[in-house]
């Protein structure tokens, strides 16, 4: 029988029905069923199909060792956070996870208390907290990688000189506590100079993420934790372009005055790790 719109899905599923890798079979079967369903539902013209192929082609062409446009696409389509929700279900009170984002890179080790804003100027901010397990027992020696953009909305790696700034690695102290100084983070747009930016424009969507600081926390006997702390009151908390806000990760900035009568913000972010 000829391949036609009634038997198309079955014909393709049958073509690999004998493969031994059950996981691959499940994945490919689902992709074929759903992709065929999209085509049947939308009935794209051949021109539209080529447009879709060209979009994916440009997405690939935008990728290099620094830029991953496919992950950005997965982020803005909510796929990254859907995957996060499925893979990081929490059983107790552990700190929730969120997207890694494209700007993580290795960072210099610092002592607790150090200012990580080496060059960027902004409103001073002291970030601190305690790392514990889910029974409130402090975890000393946990490694915390932190990174953020500056008030200009840029990460150090997005700048011409790529000089390390606003990122560091520190270890929690004997009582599980950590503290670093920085500048207040600001909301910023994700990179929009590629096909994902064009897509957002065509979908009439803004490209902004609410202000946040990224954390990657690792401790022996615990699952690695990738998360952010978000700043209460940010105007993009309800419409993060990558859908990565979780209410449990939002914290208030408290205004304070230091011993030199300088104003600064205090940001408390305790972290509860999940056992392996
Ligand atoms: C970020 O927070 O750095 C980020 C996350 C997803 C896409 C783009 C940027
Ligand atoms: Fe970010």
pLDDT given for residue 133 in this prediction: 97
For 186-235, the pLDDT digits (tens) are 999 999 999 999 999 999 999 999 999 999 999 999 999 999 999 999 99
pLDDT at 15: 96
**Using a 6 Å cutoff on CB, does residue 195 contact ligand 1?**
no
The string of pLDDT tens digits covering residues 145-186 is 999 999 999 999 999 888 999 999 999 999 999 999 999 999
Q: State how far the alpha carbon of 71 is from the alpha carbons of 37, 74, 92, 210, in Å.
A: 24, 5, 29, 19
Residues in contact with 33: Cβ distance below 8 Å, sequence separation at least 6, in sequence order: 9, 13
H/E stretch holding 42: helix 22-42
**pLDDT at 245 exceeding the cut of 90:** yes
Question: Using a 6 Å cutoff on CB, does residue 101 contact ligand 1?
Answer: yes
256 pLDDT exceeds 90? yes
**Is the distance from CB of 224 to CB of 244 less than 8 angstroms?**
no
pLDDT given for residue 1 in this prediction: 87
Q: Please, are residues 28 and 16 in contact by the beta-carbon 8 Å criterion?
A: yes
Distance (Å, whole) CA 45 – CA 62: 26
What is the reported pLDDT for 56?
98
What separation in Å is there between the alpha carbon of 79 and the centre of ligand 1? 13
- The Cα diameter of the chain in Å comes to 85
List the domain boundaries for the chain: 8-63, 73-272
pTM: 0.94
Which CATH number describes the domain made up of 73-272? 2.60.130.10
Average confidence score pLDDT of the chain: 96
| Residue 128 reports pLDDT greater than 80 | yes
Tens-digit pLDDT profile for residues 76-95: 999 999 999 999 988 789 99
Q: Are 187 and 61 in contact (CB under 8 A)?
A: no
CB 222 within 8 A of CB 93: no
Q: Is 185 in the pocket of ligand 1 (CB under 6 A)?
A: no
Best of 70, 79, 103, 210 for a ligand 1 pocket test (most atoms within 8 Å of beta carbon) = 103
Q: Which residue has the higher pLDDT, 260 or 211?
A: 211
Residue 72 CB less than 6 A away from ligand 1? yes
Which pLDDT score is estimated for 34? 98
pLDDT in tens, 28-43: 999 999 999 999 999 9
Strands 188-189 and 250-251: unpaired
| Ligand 1 center to 178 CA (angstroms) | 24
pLDDT above 80 (res 101): yes
Ligand 1 pocket mutation pick from 78, 242, 245 by most atoms within 8 angstroms of CB: 242
Is residue 219 in contact with ligand 1, taking CB distance under 6 Å? Answer: no
What are the C-alpha distances in Å from 84 to residues 74, 111, 116, 229, 245? Answer: 12, 31, 28, 16, 12
Q: Whose CA is nearest to atom 9 of ligand 1?
A: 101
- CA 21 from chain centre, in angstroms, equals 31
Q: Give the pLDDT confidence score for residue 92 in this predicted structure.
A: 86
Closest Cα to atom 4 of ligand 1: 101
Distance, CA of 209 to CA of 232 (rounded, Å): 13
CA of 212 to the centre of ligand 2 (A): 6
C-alpha 175 – ligand 2 centre gap (Å): 29
């Amino acid at each position: 029988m000829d391949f036609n719109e009634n038997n198309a899905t079955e014909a393709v599923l049958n073509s690999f029905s004998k493969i031994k890798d059950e996981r691959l079979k499940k994945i490919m079967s689902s992709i074929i069923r759903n992709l065929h369903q999209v085509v049947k539902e939308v009935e794209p013209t051949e021109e539209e199909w080529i447009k879709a192929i060209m979009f994916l082609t440009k997405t690939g062409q935008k990728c290099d060792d620094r830029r991953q446009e496919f992950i950005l696409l997965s982020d803005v389509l909510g796929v990254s956070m859907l995957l996060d929700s499925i893979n990081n279900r929490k059983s107790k009170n552990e700190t929730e996870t969120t997207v890694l984002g494209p700007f993580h890179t290795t960072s210099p080790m610092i002592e607790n208390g150090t200012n990580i804003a080496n060059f960027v100027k902004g409103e001073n901010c002291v970030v601190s907290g305690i790392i514990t397990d889910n029974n409130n027992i402090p975890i000393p020696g946990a490694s915390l990688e932190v990174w953020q953009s500056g008030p200009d909305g840029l990460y150090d790696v997005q700048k011409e000189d790529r000089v390390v700034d606003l990122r560091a690695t520190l270890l929690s102290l004997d009582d599980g506590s950590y503290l670093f100084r920085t500048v207040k983070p600001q909301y910023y747009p994700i990179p929009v100079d590629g096909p994902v930016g064009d897509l957002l424009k065509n979908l009439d969507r803004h490209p902004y993420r609410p202000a946040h600081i990224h954390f990657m926390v690792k401790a022996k006997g615990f699952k690695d934790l990738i998360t952010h702390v978000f700043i209460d009151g940010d105007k993009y908390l309800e419409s993060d372009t990558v859908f990565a806000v979780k209410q449990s990760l939002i914290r208030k900035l408290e205004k304070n005055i230091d011993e030199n009568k300088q104003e600064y913000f205090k940001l408390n972010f305790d972290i509860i790790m999940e056992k392996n």
